[in-house]
Amino acid sequence: MAKGVLMKLKLPQWLSLSVKQRKTVIPTLVGLCVPLLITALYIGTPKFFSQSTELLFDAYQRVNPREYDPNIGVRVVDIDEESLKIHGQWPWPRTKMARFNQNLTDAGAAVIAYDIVFSEPDRTSPENLIEVFKSNPNAKGNFDNIKALTSHDQVFADAIGRSNVVTGFFLVNNENDKRPIRKAGISYGGTDPRGALPEYIGSIPALPILEAQASGAGSVSFQPKADGIVRTAPLMSRLGGKVYPSLSIEALRAAQGAGAYKIRGNDASGESSSVDKEVVALQVGAFELPATKNGEFRLHFTTHQPERIVPAWKVLANDPLDQEWKAKITNHIVFIGTSAIGLQDIYATPVEVRMAGVEAQAQVVEQILGEQFLERPDWIAGMEIEGFLFLGILLALIVPHLGAAKGALLSAVLAGSVFYGSYFAFTNKQLLFDPILILIGILASYLVITLTSFYLTESERSRIRSAFSMYLSPTMVKKVSEDPDLLTLGGEERNMTILFLDIRGFSKISHGLEPNEITTFLNIFLTPMTNILQDGHATIDKYIGDAIVAFWNAPLDDPEHEVNAAKAVMAMMRSLDDLNEKYMAQSEIKWPDDVRMGIGLNTGVCCVGSLGSEQRFSYSMIGDAANLASRIEGLTKQYKVHVLVGDSTAGKISEFAIIEADLIQVVGRPTPERVFILAGEEKEAQTDDYKALIPIHKIFLDAYREQKWKTAEALIPELHSLAKPLDFHGYYDVMRDRIAGYKTNPPPKDWGGVYVATSK
């Protein structure tokens, strides 16, 4: 009868399916919805996908950077730290720049492009020095001879006029009426696409006297992405309704003697019917460059290549032995810039954490001359969406019948094929095929289908689990139901962060207290510390008298176990200060004066699980990483600090206030370990004292390890003062005493800075 009613009402057939049939039909229907949902997400939030794509293409570049060709015809003359050391601080007098420019011209440079903006008059020019001399109360004379001298800017301009020079200018977002000179005309293929170019409202050009003598002028402004990484270089930019070239392509134009640029839009030759006008390509003389829709050039970087670089001091050298650089300059496009940190022309790229802006400018021209273009034609986006939809539907139809394991294997094969296709296109065809959408589709389809199947299976067991939860804690129910072997002896290897905590001078403290007072003291101390650890996702391993052993990332996963451990440690330090303040001010409970503690943190692989005997066992961990954590805690006494962390932990908490303490070989370990002082959280890392301390501390450690005792010792008073607000100044007292000992009994020449601990 019920069946007849269902047939008459014509209810959906899946409602009358058997449990076995539902386990395939329902996941299939749900899986078919995934491509539609992700497509909507892709359209609604394209920024998320684009950021993921950029990171993936960055990885491709790191694995397969562009191969450097030293014969490509581009060089960089670098005003590096050594050049500044030899010739003085920047800016150099324009008379020196004139000689510098002339030396490059005499060496046969095809073009000299300055990734430097000479926007202000030379302060050392005669007309400017006269005013300085006159302000001297002992100055005598009328300075007519000095006044008659040629302006240094004119000397430099004359040198530029004898050369093929491209000057640089800044484009800025601060409105002003300054405009650089444009030396070449610009035409357009198709509808004028200027609206797609990046727009600025002001500029900082070179001095008119210099611009007038130059062959060209180009923008030196780079626009890193939101994450601070330079991936593209602007080819053209807008300012006040006019279009201006970048330094790199202006240098390329000047090298060819070309008179104009041609920007091709997306409707040229019927390429696109899009309402939005976009840039497709830029023609510079004999070269046509593919461009992004807003007129940028995709950079395929090489790693840093010393062969590309000529130090500026060599160009100014008079020694005949320092003239080999000329052969590297002849008939080359030469970019002048700086890698000196203080001059702030440093950028991050996919292949280098620090790259001088001038080197990036040079790499643009290298790619053009070598015709090595990273391209992303319009048809690729359509192919990506089609592939995504096809594979999403395929998985929805197949995975429910395969099961989780075989479905995972199929998904992995498909994902691997797509990823390999993308990488192959990059490395062999220089095509930017974005696999992110397809990979997300594969992963999401598999997960949704599998989770749906899992939910259907788990719902059948829910009554049993509910009954089981009445006898055990929910956490243990979950773990035991997933792995009943947890109730037996044994363990697993996991990467964990381990904490050892010890009260300083507890033996002395206990001598001054009665047994019941010791118990009260420990209870008051351990209770808030335990609460902090548990709130910070830690597992308490054991209490050993006044000591606590705890760990993170077991039994439950904690992807941020290093950060959580560091936060918990900082909270415990604050809690101890509160305890001292509270209990030292009252008389009901006998509280020792100013209780201190030492904490050691280390991250590494340990065996964790039910350890013990068949009669009694506990959930604990053992391993070398735990032993090292214990040794590090012991070192806090020697270094007079509260918290020390191992190298593996420090690498994961870089946003905290951490300072490298030493390279030390602890008892029982054959290799040295780098240990760090944990002095505070993010807010402490932003303090002026911390920011000032870090570079000085590095100089101190370098001098210490190079056995430059006098240099290291001289820095200690300042470091001691800067460290005092963060309460680790005692460390520098220890290091002062150690240096004093080394001055008497120096370590071997090949020492390397390793301190060998003699006690645990």
Return the amino acid letter for 86. Answer: I
Higher pLDDT, 49 or 409: 409
Helix (H, G, I), strand (E, B) or coil at 331: coil
pLDDT digits (tens, 9 = 90+) for 492-513: 899 999 999 999 988 888 888 8
pLDDT digits (tens, 9 = 90+) for 158-184: 999 999 999 999 999 999 999 999 999
CA 713/CA 177 separation, integer angstroms: 54
Same domain, 407 and 515: no
Confidence of residue 463 (pLDDT cuts 50, 70, 90): very low
Q: What is the largest CA-CA distance in the chain?
A: 123
Nearest Cα to Cα of residue 595 among 627, 639, 642: 642
Indicate whether 682 belongs to any domain.
no
Higher pLDDT, 492 or 66: 66
Indicate whether 323 belongs to any domain.
yes
> Considering 636, 653, 670, which residue would you say is the last residue of a domain?
653
Same domain, 227 and 330: yes
289 bridge partner residues: 282
Same domain, 382 and 281: no
pLDDT digits (tens, 9 = 90+) for 189-238: 877 788 889 999 999 999 999 999 999 999 998 877 778 899 999 999 99
Confidence of residue 3 (pLDDT cuts 50, 70, 90): very low
Instruction: Please give the mean pLDDT across all residues of the chain.
Output: 86
- CB burial of residue 198 (10 Å; 0-12, 13-18, 19+): middle
**Structural element, H or E, at residue 166:** strand 165-172
pLDDT digits (tens, 9 = 90+) for 669-699: 888 999 999 999 999 999 999 999 999 999 9
Question: Does residue 322 carry a pLDDT above 80?
Answer: no
Question: Does residue 467 carry a pLDDT above 60?
Answer: no
Highest mean pLDDT among 133-147, 276-290, 560-574: 560-574
Indicate whether 727 belongs to any domain.
no
**According to the model, what pLDDT value does residue 500 have?**
97
Which tokens belong to 52? 């993921």
**499: domain CATH number?**
3.30.70.1230
Q: Cα(first)–Cα(last) distance of the chain, in Å?
A: 82
Same domain, 406 and 334: no
Same domain, 567 and 587: yes
- At CA 10, angle to CA 5 and CA 14, rounded to 5? 100
Nearest Cα to Cα of residue 93 among 139, 137, 140, 159: 159
310 bridge partner residues: 77
Q: What is the mean pLDDT of residues 29-52?
A: 75
Q: Please state, as a whole number, how many other Cβ atoms lie within 10 Å of the Cβ of residue 440.
A: 20
Indicate whether 675 belongs to any domain.
no
Nearest Cα to Cα of residue 601 among 528, 551, 659: 551
CA 364/CA 359 separation, integer angstroms: 9
Q: What is the mean pLDDT of residues 610-638?
A: 84
Same domain, 432 and 392: yes
pTM over 0.85: no
Return the amino acid letter for 744. Answer: T
> Considering 369, 403, 433, which residue would you say is the last residue of a domain?
369
Higher pLDDT, 63 or 480: 63
**C-alpha dihedral sign at 212, 184, 220, 108:** negative
Q: Tally the domains of the chain.
A: 3
**According to the model, what pLDDT value does residue 18 have?**
60
> Considering 329, 348, 369, which residue would you say is the last residue of a domain?
369
CA 738/CA 760 separation, integer angstroms: 18
Same domain, 501 and 613: yes
Same domain, 506 and 648: yes
Return the amino acid letter for 581. Answer: E
Higher pLDDT, 51 or 59: 59
- Expressed as residue numbers, the domain containing 295 is 74-369
**According to the model, what pLDDT value does residue 17 have?**
60
Question: Does residue 640 carry a pLDDT above 70?
Answer: yes
**Structural element, H or E, at residue 202:** strand 202-204
Indicate whether 3 belongs to any domain.
no
Question: Does residue 555 carry a pLDDT above 90?
Answer: no
Question: Does residue 638 carry a pLDDT above 70?
Answer: yes
Same domain, 88 and 33: no
Helix (H, G, I), strand (E, B) or coil at 121: coil
The bridge status of strand 185-189 relative to strand 260-265 is parallel
Indicate whether 590 belongs to any domain.
yes
Indicate whether 686 belongs to any domain.
no
Same domain, 555 and 587: yes
What single-letter DSSP state applies at residue 348? B
> Which spans in 552-623 are helix H?
561-584
pLDDT digits (tens, 9 = 90+) for 32-41: 888 878 877 7
Same domain, 122 and 263: yes
Same domain, 392 and 338: no
Angle between helices 378-402 and 404-424 (to 10 degrees): 160
The bridge status of strand 597-612 relative to strand 617-622 is antiparallel
Indicate whether 663 belongs to any domain.
no
Return the amino acid letter for 217. Answer: A
Confidence of residue 10 (pLDDT cuts 50, 70, 90): very low
pLDDT digits (tens, 9 = 90+) for 103-135: 999 999 999 999 999 999 999 888 888 877 777
Higher pLDDT, 241 or 66: 66
Question: Does residue 733 carry a pLDDT above 90?
Answer: yes
Nearest Cα to Cα of residue 622 among 528, 551, 713: 551
**According to the model, what pLDDT value does residue 481 have?**
56
Confidence of residue 8 (pLDDT cuts 50, 70, 90): very low
